[in-house]
Amino acid sequence: MKMLIEFKLNGRDIRSNVAPERLLVDFLREDLGLTGTKKGCGVGECGACTVIVDGKTVDSCLILAATVDGRSVTTIEGLADDGSLHPLQQAFIDQGAVQCGFCTPGMLLSAKALLDEKPQPAREEIKVALSGNICRCTGYKKIIDAVEAAGRVLKGEDGHA
What pLDDT does 83 receive?
87
What pLDDT does 139 receive?
81
Helix ranges (H only) for the chain are 24-26, 87-94, 104-117, 123-129, 141-155
Residue 160 belongs to some domain of the structure: no
| H/E run at residue 3 | strand 3-9
Mean pLDDT taken over the chain: 95
* Domains of the chain: total: 2
Question: What CATH number does the domain containing 148 carry?
Answer: 1.10.150.120
Boundary-marking domain end, from 78, 111, 137: 78
Rounded Cα–Cα distance for residues 102 and 104 (Å): 6
Query: Which tens digit of pLDDT belongs to each residue from 42-97?
Result: 999 999 999 999 999 999 999 999 999 999 999 999 999 888 999 999 999 999 99
- On whether both 119 and 95 belong to a single domain, the answer is yes
Boundary-marking domain end, from 26, 54, 78: 78
Give residue 119's pLDDT band: very low, low, confident or very high (50, 70, 90). Answer: very high
Quote the domain boundaries for residue 93. Answer: 87-155
What pLDDT does 138 receive?
79
This prediction has a pTM of 0.94
Closest C-alpha to 93, from 82, 83, 109, 104: 104
Number of H helices, E strands in the chain: 5, 5
